[in-house]
Amino acid sequence: MAPSFKVMSLTDAAAARIKGIMADAERPIAGLRVGVKNGGCAGMSYTMEYAEDRKPGEDVVEDKGVRVFIDPKAVLFLLGTEMDFQTTKLASQFVFNNPNQTSACGCGESVAITPADPASLTGAHA
């Protein structure tokens, strides 16, 4: 069996924040679901929601004690992405350091992302 390629990774800060969110949830949560959707001034935006279980076709990333479910439509847009959590004087937010992102709008809520080439994954190692 070939080694699997990890779609995305988490920083320590992101993992800690997700653990905190899950601990405060009103119902049992299996992890966080991450995806992308069309919209915004740059074309796409990231989505996040509680995940009670794995949906068919989803990739599952387990990193630093956190489980992240990746929407199958988002995999090629998220390959190689590092999810971080940053706190500044003005905001606390999750930040996606995505090598496939080609631009972002001024508000930081919308991005342009080019899908990764699936052929580039041949022989990839985790």
Instruction: Spell out the domain ranges in the chain.
Output: 8-113
| CATH number belonging to the domain at 8-113, selected among 3.40.50.300, 2.60.300.12, 3.40.50.2000, 3.20.10.10 | 2.60.300.12
Residue 93: what pLDDT? 87
Q: Which residues contact 31 (CB under 8 A, 6 or more apart)?
A: 22, 51, 60, 66, 67, 68, 69
What average pLDDT does range 39-63 have in this prediction?
Answer: 86
Neighbours of 63 (CB within 10 A): 17
Whether residue 16 is predicted with pLDDT greater than 80 in this model: the reply is yes
> Is residue 19 helix, strand or coil?
helix
- Model's pTM, two decimal places? 0.76
Contact present, 121 and 5 (Cβ < 8 Å): yes
Residue 115: what pLDDT? 63
Residue 126: what pLDDT? 42
Polymer length of the chain: 126
Digit-coded pLDDT (tens) for 65-90: 999 999 999 898 889 899 999 998 88
Largest distance between two CA atoms of the chain: 47
Extract the tokens encoding 34.
Answer: 């991450």
Digit-coded pLDDT (tens) for 36-47: 888 766 678 888
